[in-house]
Amino acid sequence: MDTLLPPGFVFLISVLLFFSPSNANQTINKCSNATYGPFIQCLLANSIPHSLLYTQGTASYSTLLDFSIRNQRFNTTRTPKPLAIITPAFECHVSAIIGCCRMNNIEPRVLSGGHDYEGLSYVAFGTPFVIINMQNISSIDVNTTDNTAWVQAGATVGELYYHIAEKSKTLGFPAGLCPTVGIGGHLSGGGIGTMMRKYGLASDNIIDARLVNAEGKILDRESMGEDLFWAIRGGGGASFGIILAYKIKLVHVPQKLTIFAKSYNLSQNGSLVKIVSQWQDVAYRLDVRLFIRQFIQVSSDNKGNRILQIKFESLFLGEKEKLLSIMRENFPLLDLQVQECQEMSWIETVQYFAGYTNGELLRALLERKSQFGYSFKAKSDFLTSQIPEFGWKKIWYNLLRSNATVYMIIDPLGGKMDEISESETPFPYRNGSLYNIQYLVAWVDGDQRVVDRYMDWIRDFYEFMTPWVCLVYTRTRDEQGVREQDLVRL
Ligand SMILES: Cc1cc2nc3c(=O)[nH]c(=O)nc-3n(C[C@H](O)[C@H](O)[C@H](O)COP(=O)(O)OP(=O)(O)OC[C@H]3O[C@@H](n4cnc5c(N)ncnc54)[C@H](O)[C@@H]3O)c2cc1C
Ligand SMILES: *[C@@H]1O[C@H](CO)[C@@H](O)[C@H](O)[C@H]1NC(C)=O
Ligand SMILES: *[C@@H]1O[C@H](CO)[C@@H](O)[C@H](O)[C@H]1NC(C)=O
Ligand SMILES: *[C@@H]1O[C@H](CO)[C@@H](O)[C@H](O)[C@H]1NC(C)=O
Ligand SMILES: *[C@@H]1O[C@H](CO)[C@@H](O)[C@H](O)[C@H]1NC(C)=O
Ligand SMILES: *[C@@H]1O[C@H](CO)[C@@H](O)[C@H](O)[C@H]1NC(C)=O
Ligand SMILES: *[C@@H]1O[C@H](CO)[C@@H](O)[C@H](O)[C@H]1NC(C)=O
Ligand SMILES: *[C@@H]1O[C@H](CO)[C@@H](O)[C@H](O)[C@H]1NC(C)=O
Ligand SMILES: *[C@@H]1O[C@H](CO)[C@@H](O)[C@H](O)[C@H]1NC(C)=O
Ligand SMILES: *[C@@H]1O[C@H](CO)[C@@H](O)[C@H](O)[C@H]1NC(C)=O
């Protein structure tokens, strides 16, 4: 890891020491190039080469910006654009950029994988801003002697998984499913995934970190202190500094794991509500090696019929015979058959959950381009009690009545998640939280009116969910609200 100070850096720090908000207006002029010229000069004076600067006049500015935007909701002509995108190559570059941003009152936005749901890594409203794109600060050093790794913020979880598997068949890491998610945003915000019931969140497995603070200083766990170290393990990175790297604890995975997925269409299976209820009753308290999530997708077919599909997707950290016996005992209604189970290595399960199921090479995990190219809006809840059968029916009815493509992804917690106290990290949903639900509506571009309609829809739906997540429904009133024939008709 490079920690050498560039020439000019010492100069920069001394300028920063004398910089205070009271003389800020002398250097700021929000909409003119007055801030911009000195800012660029500052970067150049601090050894940031031209080749790492993409200004609005640079040919590849748009390509790089486009590549950064992962939620197409923020790919419009109205979306504010950065004055520049900077792709630091060394840690010390990041310190210098922070210094130049402060001196010129330009807001830095830091982007690692670009998957922020609200575009926070590449959009700022009402203030001139630049993007610090971390993608070239992305080395990964896996140590199989003490089962740890240093991973730089700009790496993706797919790259991390790939490099772990390259070194060991029995080590893994419990983070998210989507391989293009960045370490910088993902680990600082938590990181839920298929192994969390056994090993907790990605952020529960961080043991050290390197970060640039607002003064441009590079700190590690020891020099930042335990409070700041606490905050950057679930509290969101950008609020506290710029994460350069995390040191993580790798976890043991067996040689052979088992996956299965079973889907149902609502109209086909009258007993679906029974299956969902049984799943809900057991999924959070099953053997900690077993993760079964419920993925609901509602969309329209080409004839305009609304289709509600429920898929149970599962990872078991063990072989299929054991899985089948756990399923027979705890979740018999799913009626899992041996031929529905596939045994594979941990890295193959990673590929499977990433959607690479057509024999793609492992190298596909190194691909940084996201497969998810829509506009979307998502919200989430944590369930602390079970939704009754009539509640599920109401939920389905409500989803079917919309016009949109909507998803509800329900991940079971429990296991290791229960063992960590709610104050140990900024992520408090521990013992007592049974499930995490994500609601997501996705669409392919559209004018503002269309966008507004989807945004209104998900806000209404979130509101509609309140009784089920806050236990304020009344059995008699809400039970009457949904009739079997409403569901069948849809
Ligand atoms: C398709 C998709 C799938 C996903 N799957 C999962 C999943 O399985 N599990 C899960 O838990 N989450 C998942 N997420 C959510 C994802 O973990 C978060 O959005 C995460 O914050 C993304 O990190 P990033 O680096 O890719 O994003 P970015 O947009 O780069 O960053 C996200 C936030 O973190 C800040 N940030 C980024 N880098 C740094 C840094 N180096 N230092 C300080 N702050 C920084 C940004 O400024 C921004 O506020 C998914 C998101 C998408 C879009
Ligand atoms: C900077 O200018 C703005 C607008 O002109 C003004 O409202 C603000 O008080 C000024 N701030 C300082 C610190 O002088
Ligand atoms: C800033 O400079 C660029 C390139 O020199 C120019 O195209 C642009 O119009 C200027 N913007 C303003 C607000 O003056
Ligand atoms: C953003 O929008 C432009 C113009 O509509 C389009 O050409 C581009 O492909 C979009 N970007 C992405 C990443 O899809
Ligand atoms: C990252 O580094 C590589 C190799 O030095 C370079 O080719 C590439 O252009 C850099 N990427 C960005 C976005 O600057
Ligand atoms: C791996 O970890 C061991 C034990 O902490 C240490 O001695 C060794 O130097 C590390 N290897 C590398 C390449 O960092
Ligand atoms: C559900 O319906 C769709 C569309 O009719 C069909 O393509 C799909 O195969 C069905 N899924 C199941 C699990 O039956
Ligand atoms: C519905 O699900 C139950 C339980 O898994 C199963 O026994 C039944 O065959 C299914 N019916 C249809 C039509 O798929
Ligand atoms: C569905 O679309 C129709 C016409 O396109 C519209 O009138 C109706 O309001 C839409 N419903 C919802 C819930 O958005
Ligand atoms: C979780 O909370 C329950 C109820 O308070 C308690 O009985 C149980 O022991 C707790 N579990 C853990 C792992 O702390």
Residue 9 has pLDDT above 50, yes or no: no
Q: Give the residue among 200, 193, 155 at the shortest CA–CA distance from 352.
A: 193
Strand pairing category for 171-172 and 405-412: unpaired
- CA of residue 430 to ligand 10 center, whole Å: 10
**Overall average pLDDT of the 214-230 stretch:** 97
pLDDT at 193: 98
- CA of residue 96 to ligand 2 center, whole Å: 26
- CA of residue 376 to ligand 1 center, whole Å: 15
Among protein residues, the one with the nearest Cα to ligand 5's atom 6 is 136
Residue 79 has pLDDT above 80, yes or no: yes
Residue 33 has pLDDT above 70, yes or no: no
CB burial of residue 339 (10 Å; 0-12, 13-18, 19+): exposed
Give 452's Cβ-side CA count (13 Å radius). 3
Residues in contact with ligand 9 (CB, 6 Å cut-off): 402-403, 453, 457
| 473-to-150, 215, 220, 379, 408 alpha-carbon distances in Å | 48, 51, 48, 21, 20
Atom of ligand 5 nearest to the CA of 54: 14
pLDDT at 48: 93
Residue 85 has pLDDT above 50, yes or no: yes
- CA of residue 257 to ligand 10 center, whole Å: 28
Residue 482 has pLDDT above 60, yes or no: no
**Overall average pLDDT of the 396-410 stretch:** 93
Q: Nearest 5 degrees, angle CA 192-CA 240-CA 372?
A: 40
Give the pLDDT band of residue 357 (cuts 50, 70, 90): confident
Give 411's Cβ-side CA count (13 Å radius). 22
The answer, yes or no, to whether any atom of ligand 1 lies below 6 A from the CB of 192, is yes
pLDDT at 372: 76
pLDDT at 2: 35
**Overall average pLDDT of the 285-304 stretch:** 96
Instruction: Give the tokens for residue 273.
Output: 């509500």
Q: Give the residue among 414, 408, 290, 296 at the shortest CA–CA distance from 349.
A: 290
- Beta bridge partners, 185, equal none
The answer, yes or no, to whether any atom of ligand 8 lies below 6 A from the CB of 484, is no
Atom of ligand 9 nearest to the CA of 453: 14
pLDDT at 18: 30
Residue 241 has pLDDT above 70, yes or no: yes
- CA of residue 76 to ligand 4 center, whole Å: 8
pLDDT at 475: 58
**Overall average pLDDT of the 72-95 stretch:** 95
CB burial of residue 350 (10 Å; 0-12, 13-18, 19+): buried
- Which range is least confidently modeled, 6-15, 40-49, 147-156, 436-445? 6-15
pLDDT at 68: 85
Atom of ligand 7 nearest to the CA of 309: 1
**Overall average pLDDT of the 271-297 stretch:** 97
Atom of ligand 4 nearest to the CA of 66: 13
Residue 143 has pLDDT above 90, yes or no: yes
Counting every residue written for the chain, the total comes to 490
Nearest-angstrom CA–CA distance, 348 and 356: 9
What SS3 state is found at 3? Answer: coil
The shares of helix, strand and coil residues in the chain, as percent rounded to the nearest 5, are 40, 20, 40
Among protein residues, the one with the nearest Cα to ligand 2's atom 6 is 25
Mutate to test the pocket of ligand 10, among 284, 384, 418, 423 (most ligand atoms within 8 A of CB): 418
Residues in contact with ligand 3 (CB, 6 Å cut-off): 31-33, 57
**Overall average pLDDT of the 394-423 stretch:** 95
- CA of residue 435 to ligand 7 center, whole Å: 27
Among protein residues, the one with the nearest Cα to ligand 1's atom 46 is 121
pLDDT at 207: 98
Domains of the chain: 21-136 (3.30.43.10), 140-252 (3.30.465.10), 257-344+374-484 (3.40.462.20)
Tell me the whole-structure pTM to 2 decimals: 0.87
**Overall average pLDDT of the 132-149 stretch:** 98
| 235-to-135, 211, 402, 488 alpha-carbon distances in Å | 22, 14, 34, 44
- Which range is least confidently modeled, 4-13, 145-154, 387-396? 4-13
Per-residue DSSP letter, 206: E
Atom of ligand 6 nearest to the CA of 143: 1
Tell me what percent of the residues of the chain surpass a pLDDT of 90: 77
Residues 141 and 150 sit within 8 Å (Cβ to Cβ): yes
Instruction: Give the tokens for residue 317.
Output: 């950290």
- Which range is least confidently modeled, 9-18, 201-210, 316-325? 9-18
Q: Give the residue among 187, 175, 326 at the shortest CA–CA distance from 245.
A: 187
Residues in contact with ligand 10 (CB, 6 Å cut-off): 418-419, 431
- CA of residue 56 to ligand 3 center, whole Å: 9
Helices (H), 35-129: 36-45, 61-68, 91-104
Residues 75 and 191 sit within 8 Å (Cβ to Cβ): no
Sheet containing strand 242-249, strands side by side:
140-143, 148-152, 242-249, 206-212, 218-220
Which segments of 266-333 are extended strands (E)? 290-300, 306-316
Residues 393 and 296 sit within 8 Å (Cβ to Cβ): no
Give the pLDDT band of residue 269 (cuts 50, 70, 90): low
Give 166's Cβ-side CA count (13 Å radius). 15
